[in-house]
Chains A and B, each alone.
Chain A
Amino acid sequence: MEKGKGIMGSGGRWAVDFSDNSTAPPSRDIPDPPGFTRASVDQDDSTVSRQKKDAESNWKAQKAWEVAQAPFKNLLMMGFMMWMAGNTVHLFSIGITFSALWQPISALQGVGKVFEPYKDNKVDLLGPKLLFIALNLGGLALGVWKLNTLGLLPTHASDWVSSLPPAQEVEYSGGGIPL
C-alpha cells in the first residue's frame, strides 16, 4: 500500500486550474455571451466562496460543539451501567468502574486530536474544548465516586492504620509460676 502511494506521489501531480485567468480580459476576441456580465460573476464568485467558507466554519463550529457534547451521552450511559453494577466488589462492577475511569482519561489525553478536523482560524474551539474537558472530568468524577462507593478509595482512617505495627512497650516483664 505504502509503496503504491509512493509511486503515485513521486510521479508528479497534475491539476486543472479552472479559475485561471478568470478575471483577466479574454485573450481571444470572443464576445461574452449576452446577459453575461463579467464583473457580476466576479462579484458573485467571491461572495459564494465567502459564503461557502462561512458555512464550512459554521458547520465546523457546530460539529465541534457536537463532538464536545458527545461525552454527555457516554456519561449517562456510564451512570446507568454503574447503577446496574451495584455496590459490591465483583468482576463486573470492577470492570465497569475501571472503564469509567479509563475512558475520560484517554479522552482527555486526546483532546487535541479530537478537535483537529475542526481547526480553523475563524472557529473558536476553546468553548467546545472546555465543555469536552468538563464533561470528561465529570465522567472521571463519576468513576472516582463509584470507586469510593465500592470502598476502594483510602478515604477512611481504617485504610491508613490497617497495617500499622503495634506500638512498642517500654517496660518488659517476665516470670510465672516458679519452676
Chain B
Amino acid sequence: MAIRSFLILFILFFFSSLNPILSLYEDQVGLVDWHQQYLGKVKQAVFHTHKTGRKRVVVSTEENVVASLDLGQGEIFWRHVLGSNDVIDGIDIALGKYVITLSSGGSILRAWNLPDGQMVWESSLRGPKHSKSLFLVRTNLKIEKDNIVIIFSNGRLNAVSCMDGEVLWEKDFEGESLKVQQVIQPPGSNLIYVVGFASSSLFEMYQINALNGELLKHESAAFSGGFLGEVSPVFSETVVALDSTGLILLTISFQNGKISFHQMPISNLVKDSFGPAKIIPSSVTGIFAIKMNAVTIVIRVKDESKLEVVEKTNHETSISDALSISEGQQAFALVQHASHEIHLRVKLAHNWDDNLLKESVKMDQHRGLVHKVYINNYIRTDKSYGFRALIVMEDHSLLLLQQGEIVWSREDGLASIIDVTTSELPVERDGVSVAKVEHNLFEWLKGHMLKLKGTLMLASPQDIAAIQSMRLKNSEKSKMTRDHNGFRKLLIVLTRAGKLFALHTGDGHIVWSHLLQSLQKSKVCQHPIGLNLYKWQVPHHHAMDENPSVLVIGKCGPSSDAPGALSFVDTYTGKELSSLSLVHSVAQVIPLPYTDSTEQCLHLLIDADKHAHLYPKTPEAISIFEREFSNIYWYSVEDDNGIIKGHALRGKCTGEVADEVCFDTRELWSIVFPSESEKIIATVTRKLNEVVHTQAKVIADQEVMYKYISRNLLFVATVALKGSVEIGSVTPEESWLVAYLIDTVTGRILHQVTHHGSQGPVHAVFSENWVVYHYFNLKAHRYEMSVIEIYDQSRADNKDVWKLVLGKHNLTSPISLYSRPDVITKSQSYFFTHSVKAIAVTSTTKGITSKQLLIGTIGDQVLALDKRFLDPRRTVNPTQAEKEEGIIPLTDSLPIIPQSYVTHALRVEGLRGIITVPAKLESTTLVFAHGVDLFFTQLAPSRTYDSLTDDFNYALLLITIVALLAAIFVTWTLSERKELQENWR
C-alpha cells in the first residue's frame, strides 16, 4: 500500500511538472484518428454537366445536407449541413451558377455559389397560413435578363429573382380548406396553373400570369366521389388523380379554363385488381404510375382522356423525373429490381415501345431495393445520347451507374446511425495472417532507410512526406486480429435504414455490412424501425470458439404496442444467425448482468402490457433467471405524464400469453411530478459496463470519503412547464430546473436540488458517484454546468486501521438497497461558454485512470474537459494539501483550451452521439463520435503512463545502451591489464 501511495505521489509529482494540456502535433493527425464524411439519404438530386467546368451533381438529403458531388468519383466538393430544424424541402440550380435551396417548411430560400458553396443570398418567405404543400418550380421565364423561381409555400405563391433573392411578386391562396396539389408551369408560356382540392370534393384551378402574379382565371368543379392522395401532372393542362376509394382513376383536364373529369375504374384497365391504388407522382409527360400492393402499373395517357396500361410488374419499380434531351423530347428512366440485378431502361416519353438504353447491373443484395433514380445525359463520341443514372438504394447508399457498371458508390446510410456497440476481433492464430507483410525486400529496405534518415534528421521534405504517409498507412493498425493493447476492435453500428455495419477502429473501413431481414419491409411488418443494439454473446474464457454476436431490436411501426423484431448477427462474419418476429411489443430492453454457459447475455424485454419476456428462451437461462428472480426490478419513465414507476417481478404469466419465459410484474412505487409545474426533460443512468476501481476517495490530510456507487441510480431533470420552450421566451422568475437523484429499486429520492431561473435543454452524464449536467441560466444569460457528487456517510466511521489491516470490515460485502443509505452530496456550478449537443465521459478497463468529459459542442467538435475542473471541492484559495491533491483554484467559468479539442481541426457535422470504449491498455480509451460524419480517435486522459509514446526516442535509448556496453568492456579490459602490471611489480 505504501508503495502504491508512493508511486501515485511520485507520478503526481512527475506529471505536475509537465504541461497538463493534451494536444497533438501536426504530424500525429491521422495516426490514430480517422474522419469520414457522409451525406445521408438523398432526397433530391440535380445534375450540372455543362461542357465547361467539372461535372457535378447537387444533392439534398434527409439529414438536411446540401452538397455538391464530383460526378467522376463521388467525392464531396462542398457540403452544408443545415440544422435539424431546417429541413430542406427542395433544391434547384439557377442561372447555371447558383444552387437554390428551400428549407424550414418553405420559409427560407437560399442561394449557394455552385463552384465553392459560398452563400450568395438568403431571403425569408412568409405566408398567411401553415401548409404542408411546398413547391419549388424551375422556370425559364426571364424578366429583364433575370431568371425567376416560383415557390409555393405556406399558402402563398412567390416569384423570386435568382440574382439577389428579391421577391418580385406574391399571391396568397387563402381558401380555408384549399390544399394545393400541384403548381404547373407549362414550358414556353407565361402562365402558371395552381391546382388543388378544397373540402375533399372540390377541384380548384387558378391561372396566374407568371410575370406579375395577376390572377387570370379561377375555376372550380365538384366531384362527388372525392379525392385521394396526390395528383400527377400528365400534360401541362391535365392531371391524374384517384377518387376517395382508390379504385377509380380520374383524368382532370382544365384546358382553356374548363374543368372536365373523366373516370376510369382501375378494374377496367387491369383485369385482376389488387385493392386500393396509390399514385406515384412523376413529371413525365403523358405517363404516370400507380401502385397496388406490390404491383406497379405504368399507364400512358393518350388524347387527354384515354388511358392505356403499358406495363404491369411485380418487381419493385422506380421512375425518374423527366429529362429534356432536345427540343420537345423527354427521356425518363425506369429501374426494376430483380433478385441479384437491377434493370435500367431509359425511354422517350412519347415513345414507350423503344428503349434508348437498356442495361442490367449486378447489385449487392445488401443494398436492398432501388428507392430513387435520377438520370442525366451526355453525348457520346458518336454523337448519340448516353445516360448516367444516380440511384438511391434502400440502405441509403448512393450509386452512379454508367454503361452498365457502378462507377462509384457512397455508403451514405452511415450518416444516420441509431446505435453503436463494439466487438472484439478474432484472436490471432498461427497460420492465420491477414495483414500482408511488405513482400518486396527492396521496399522494406527503402522504408527502413527512410526511417533511419528521419531519425538522424537527414531527411528532405519529400522524404518526410514519404515517412508520414508510411506512418499513416501502417498495415499494423488495420489488421483483422486482436492486438495486445486492445486498440483494434469492430464498431458495430445500426443505421436508420436497418443496415448493420462493422467498421474497423484502425482506419474506419467497412469490414462487412448487412441489411437486416427483420428490419426490412414485409407483409407482417409494414414500417419497421430499428431501435437498439445489444451485445448478445461475448465469448470469454470457456466459450472461446464461438463467435461474438449482437442483438438488434426493432419494432414494426411507431406505435407503442407494435410487435417487436429481433435479429442476432455474428460480428465476425456479418451473417444473420437468426431473426424473430415477436408476438409481443418491446417497450423496454433490460440487459441483465448474467450470462449462461455459452456466454449469452440474458435480456429481459418488457412489453407494453408490462409483461417481462426473458431471452434467450432456454431452460438454462430460465434457471439462472429464477435464481435471481426476487432481486430483479425495473422502472419506467413516463415523460409525458411526469411519472416514474418502479416494478418488481411477480411470477409466470397468466392468461392467454402463458409462456415459459413470460413473467408478470407488479408496481412497487411511483414518483409523480406535479404535472402543472414540472416536466421531465432528461434522464440519465450510469453506463452498464462501467468499471469503478475503488469506493474510497482519499482527500487531503489522509481522510477518506466513501463514494456512493450504485448501478441503480437515476438522474432526472425536470423543468417548469413554461421553461420547456425555447430559450428567451420566459423570464427567470417563471422558470426553474430541478435535478433529482433517484434510487430505482426503492424509489427513494436521494437528492434534490432546484436551480431557480434556469431552463433546459439539459444534457447530462452519470459516472461512478457523480453526475454532470448542462443547462441554461436565464438570470446570468449563460450556459451553466453543474456537478453533483454523492458520498456514503454510513461508511465514514471505518477508521480503525487495525480492523482494515486484518480485513475485519464489511466494506466489500454485498449490500441491499433496502438498508437505509446515509448519503451526503456535494455540488458546484460553473459557467460554460458553449451550448452542448452531447456529453460523454471517458471509460477505461479498470477505471483507475482519471476521467475526462467529452463535450460535443455546438460547433460539432468534441472538447475534452478534465473532470478535475468539475470538482465540488474546488475553492478559491485551496490549501497546500489540497493543491498537492490536485485541486484547481475555483473560477466562475470552465476553461476551454483550444488544444484540448479531440477532433482537432475537423468537425463531426450534425454531431449526435459520443461513445467511449475502453482499450485493453488502462491509460487509453477509444472515442467514437457520430453524426452526419464519423470520427474516431484514441484518448489517454492521464497520458499514456503505461506505454511508451509514439515519439519515444528509441535511437537515443539504443545509442545509450551501446555506449554503456562499450564503456563496460573498455574499462574491464583496462582494469585487467592494470592488475596484471600491479602483480608484476
Residue of A nearest to B564 (CB): A179
- Whether the pair A177, B702 counts as a contact (CB closer than 8 A) is no
Within 8 A of B (CB), among A45-80: none
B24 contacts A by Cβ under 8 Å: no
- Whether the pair B812, A169 counts as a contact (CB closer than 8 A) is no
Give Cα A175–Cα B711 distance, bound, in whole angstroms.
Answer: 12
**Most B-side CB within 10 Å, residue of A155, A164, A173:** A173
- Whether the pair A163, B631 counts as a contact (CB closer than 8 A) is no
- Whether the pair A165, B694 counts as a contact (CB closer than 8 A) is yes
- Partner among B693, B703, B884 whose Cβ is within 8 Å of the Cβ of A158: B703
Residue of A nearest to B743 (CB): A173
Q: Which of A25-33, A104-112, A133-141, A146-154 contacts B (4 or more CB under 8 A)?
A: A146-154
Residues of B within 8 A of A160 (CB): 1, 801, 804-805
Residues of A within 8 A of B695 (CB): 161, 164-167
A113 contacts B by Cβ under 8 Å: no
**Nearest Cβ in chain A — how far from B851, in angstroms?**
16
Residues of A within 8 A of B631 (CB): 170-172
Chain B, residues 702-722, CB within 8 Å of chain A (1/0): the string is: 111011011110000000000
- Whether the pair A1, B983 counts as a contact (CB closer than 8 A) is yes
> Given A162-B698, A175-B636, A157 and B692 touching (CB < 8 A)?
no
- Whether the pair A169, B694 counts as a contact (CB closer than 8 A) is no
Q: Which of B28-36, B587-595, B771-779 contacts A (4 or more CB under 8 A)?
A: B587-595
Chain A, residues 115-150, CB within 8 Å of chain B (1/0): the string is: 000000000000000000000000000000000000
- Whether the pair B532, A179 counts as a contact (CB closer than 8 A) is yes
> Given A159-B5, A179-B586, A179-B589, A164 and B702 touching (CB < 8 A)?
no
Chain B, residues 543-579, CB within 8 Å of chain A (1/0): the string is: 0000000000101000010000000000000000000
- Whether the pair A170, B815 counts as a contact (CB closer than 8 A) is yes
- Whether the pair B2, A154 counts as a contact (CB closer than 8 A) is yes
Residues of A within 8 A of B801 (CB): 154-157, 159-160
- Whether the pair B606, A175 counts as a contact (CB closer than 8 A) is yes
- Partner among B10, B816, B884 whose Cβ is within 8 Å of the Cβ of A171: B816
- Whether the pair B13, A172 counts as a contact (CB closer than 8 A) is no
> Given A174-B591, A179-B531, A163 and B4 touching (CB < 8 A)?
yes
- Whether the pair B702, A158 counts as a contact (CB closer than 8 A) is yes
B696 contacts A by Cβ under 8 Å: yes
Residues of A within 8 A of B707 (CB): 166
- Whether the pair A175, B814 counts as a contact (CB closer than 8 A) is no
**Nearest Cβ in chain B — how far from A166, in angstroms?**
4
Give Cα A168–Cα B694 distance, bound, in whole angstroms.
Answer: 12
Interface range for B: 35 or more
Residues of B within 8 A of A90 (CB): 13
- Whether the pair B816, A165 counts as a contact (CB closer than 8 A) is no
**Nearest Cβ in chain A — how far from B618, in angstroms?**
20
- Whether the pair A171, B811 counts as a contact (CB closer than 8 A) is no
B744 contacts A by Cβ under 8 Å: yes
A178 contacts B by Cβ under 8 Å: yes
- Whether the pair A170, B816 counts as a contact (CB closer than 8 A) is yes
Residue of A nearest to B12 (CB): A89
A3 contacts B by Cβ under 8 Å: yes
**Nearest Cβ in chain A — how far from B845, in angstroms?**
14
- Whether the pair A176, B816 counts as a contact (CB closer than 8 A) is no
Residue of A nearest to B593 (CB): A172
Residues of A within 8 A of B5 (CB): 151-152, 154, 159, 162
B628 contacts A by Cβ under 8 Å: yes
Residues of B within 8 A of A165 (CB): 692-695, 812
**Nearest Cβ in chain A — how far from B773, in angstroms?**
17
Within 8 A of A (CB), among B945-983: 982-983
Chain B, residues 797-808, CB within 8 Å of chain A (1/0): the string is: 011110011000
> Given A152-B2, A152-B6, A173-B744, A162 and B635 touching (CB < 8 A)?
no
**Nearest Cβ in chain A — how far from B560, in angstroms?**
6
Give Cα A61–Cα B696 distance, bound, in whole angstroms.
Answer: 57
Give Cα A162–Cα B801 distance, bound, in whole angstroms.
Answer: 12
- Whether the pair B588, A179 counts as a contact (CB closer than 8 A) is yes
- Whether the pair A158, B805 counts as a contact (CB closer than 8 A) is no
- Whether the pair B817, A169 counts as a contact (CB closer than 8 A) is yes
> Given A154-B1, A157-B799, A173-B745, A164 and B811 touching (CB < 8 A)?
yes
**Nearest Cβ in chain B — how far from A1, in angstroms?**
7
- Whether the pair B814, A167 counts as a contact (CB closer than 8 A) is yes
Residues of A within 8 A of B982 (CB): 1
**Nearest Cβ in chain A — how far from B707, in angstroms?**
7
**Nearest Cβ in chain B — how far from A164, in angstroms?**
5
Residues of B within 8 A of A175 (CB): 588, 590, 606, 634-637, 744
Within 8 A of A (CB), among B1-34: 1-2, 4-6, 9-10, 13
**Most A-side CB within 10 Å, residue of B531, B604, B744:** B744
- Whether the pair B639, A177 counts as a contact (CB closer than 8 A) is yes
**Nearest Cβ in chain A — how far from B200, in angstroms?**
36
**Nearest Cβ in chain B — how far from A29, in angstroms?**
54
Residue of B nearest to A179 (CB): B531
Contacts beyond the supplied A173-B634, A175-B588, A179-B532: 7 A-B pairs with Cβ under 8 Å: A3-B983, A89-B6, A157-B804, A162-B694, A172-B593, A174-B604, A178-B588
Provide a sorted-by-A list of 29 A–B residue pairs whose CB atoms are within 8 angstroms: A88-B884, A89-B10, A152-B2, A156-B801, A158-B698, A158-B704, A160-B804, A160-B805, A161-B706, A161-B811, A163-B693, A165-B695, A165-B812, A169-B710, A170-B814, A171-B632, A171-B817, A172-B592, A173-B635, A173-B744, A174-B591, A175-B590, A175-B635, A175-B636, A176-B588, A176-B637, A178-B588, A178-B636, A179-B555
Instruction: Report which B residues bind A (CB closer than 8 A).
Output: 1-2, 4-6, 9-10, 13, 531-532, 553, 555, 560, 586-593, 604, 606, 608, 628, 631-639, 646, 683, 685, 692-696, 698, 702-704, 706-707, 709-712, 744-745, 798-801, 804-805, 811-818, 884, 982-983
| A-B residue pairs, 8 tightest by C-beta | A174-B590, A160-B804, A156-B702, A173-B633, A175-B635, A166-B709, A166-B695, A178-B587
